[in-house]
Copies of this chain bind each other. A is one copy, B any other.
Amino acid sequence: MVKSVRKLDPEGTKREILRAARAEFAEKGFSGARIDEIGARTKTAKRMIYYYFGNKEGLYIAALEQAYSEIRALERTLELDDLSADDALCRMIDFTFDYEQANVEFVRLISCENMNYARYMKDSKKIREVNSNIIEAIEKILDRGYLDGSFTRHAPPEDVHFMISALCFYRVSNQYTFSEIFGCDLAAPDTSARHKNMIRNAIRSYLRSTEDHD
């Protein structure tokens, strides 16, 4: 007896929906995103979205969780322990720089969630878990650097993470207004290379300097 030839791959369907949802939310934000559009970007029916994710909010949170999981998973493969403090710091910066430049979708999802005052993220244990060890990773690098003398200024690892994040993230998140106003293209290869170097060395020289302007 021939069964009806419907696709029976729940995981595949979920994955496809999530992929479409991330693209749509990243593009239009939470209010601007359209469930219909996400349905259309998918081969399955819109109804499945409700079946698997409950509602728009549930889908959005799932998209956010996936986005964070991916970057942090990659980050954990960097093998920073094998490098000198200085090299490790640079590798971490480079990774952040490259990943965010390559994954505008991720950056926009985070921007979007900040427009939402992070209210949806608060409901997700997963996101906190998944983000738990970046600070530790940076702390290890800094400590190593203080010991071997590569870094002279003691800075909280959160602050170093903040600087890396701010400089790499803003380049992508604010590229549209920045480029429009200053008539440049932040995504252009030469600007990109120059900025990557600049960010590296701004943070490094900060950690090596001592004399302050208060």
Contact = CB atoms under 8 A, between A and B. Distances in A.
A78 interface: no
A177 B28 contact: no
A131 B122 CA distance: 37
A192 to B, nearest CB: 12
Contacts of A201: 206, 209, 212-213
A contact residues, range: 35 or more
A152 B87 CA distance: 24
A163 B110 CA distance: 20
Nearest to A201: B212
B158 A167 contact: no
Contact of A108 (B108, B115, B131, B163): B115
A173 to B, nearest CB: 6
Interface string A150-172: 00000100110111011101110
Contacts of A166: 166-167, 169-171, 174
A47 interface: no
A114 interface: yes
A55 interface: no
Contacts of A113: 176-177
Contact of A209 (B127, B167, B173, B208): B208
A214 B197 contact: yes
Interface string A99-143: 000000000101111111110011000011001000100000000
A180 interface: yes
A73 to B, nearest CB: 16
A179 B117 CA distance: 10
A7 interface: no
A81 to B, nearest CB: 19
Interface of A: 28-32, 86-87, 90, 108, 110-118, 121-122, 127-128, 131, 135, 155, 158-159, 161-163, 165-167, 169-171, 173-182, 184, 194-195, 197-198, 200-206, 208-209, 212-214
